[in-house]
Amino acid sequence: MLHDPLTLYKLIVLYMLNRVSFPLTTAQISDFILGRDYTNFLTLQQVINELTEAGLIAGQTIRNRTHLDITKEGRETLLFFENRISDAIKTDANEYLRKNEFTLRNEVSVIGDYYKSTSGEYEAHLVAKDRGINLIDITLSVPIEEMAASICDNWQKKNQDIYKYLIEQLF
């Protein structure tokens, strides 16, 4: 076992990000680590910040969620130190990722974000991905911010129905 708990938490985060082919959100990683009482929220935030500063993970904030990916350097680091994570923790992490894969993937594969354009309108940018490939990528211009926010929220809830509708209508 490791003498420094922060190192173990960092390795768990790297391990989880290395086991999936898509980004995980900070909330998804928190759900696993905090749900098993490995550590507390503030310590986990410190771990994620230190991993990001060290260039072992990369984060991208989309609306109110931070999507995390392991970097090449993170993979190399994990290769050297993965044996320091207990088999029990690896089993728990693998089970969590396997059991929740569809939900985890869907949460980061469906992206809705908006911004104010140079024309003064708001643009809602909606994307649905599968294995890193855009299945659909739509930008809608609307006059007010509340509409753009609503479109993005509804995209999260109704993207599959909208995608299915478009396919049926266009093919």
Predicted confidence at residue 1, as pLDDT, reads 45
Q: What is the mean pLDDT of residues 125-138?
A: 87
Look at residue 20 in the predicted model and tell me its pLDDT: 93
pLDDT at position 129: 84
Q: Does pLDDT of 10 surpass 80?
A: yes
Cα gap 119→160, rounded to integer Å: 30
Give the total residue count for the chain: 171
Please tell me the distance from the alpha carbon of residue 148 to that of residue 153, in angstroms, as a whole number: 9
Comma-separated ranges of CATH 1.10.10.10 domains in the chain: 5-108
Name residue 148's amino acid: A
Reported CATH class of domain 5-108? mainly alpha
Model confidence pLDDT, tens digit, residues 93-119: 999 999 998 888 878 888 888 999 999
Task: Note if the pTM is more than 0.85.
Answer: no
Give per-residue pLDDT as tens, 31-57: 999 999 999 999 999 999 999 999 999
Q: According to the model, what pLDDT value does residue 95 have?
A: 96
Pairwise pLDDT comparison (10 vs 109), residue with the higher score: 10
DSSP 35: H
Per residue in 64-84, pLDDT (tens digit) is: 788 999 999 999 999 999 999
CB atoms within 10 A of CB 93: 20
Provide the angle, in degrees to the nearest 10, between the axes of the packed helices 5-18 and 87-109: 50
Pick the closest to residue 63 from 153, 164, 159 (CA basis). Answer: 153
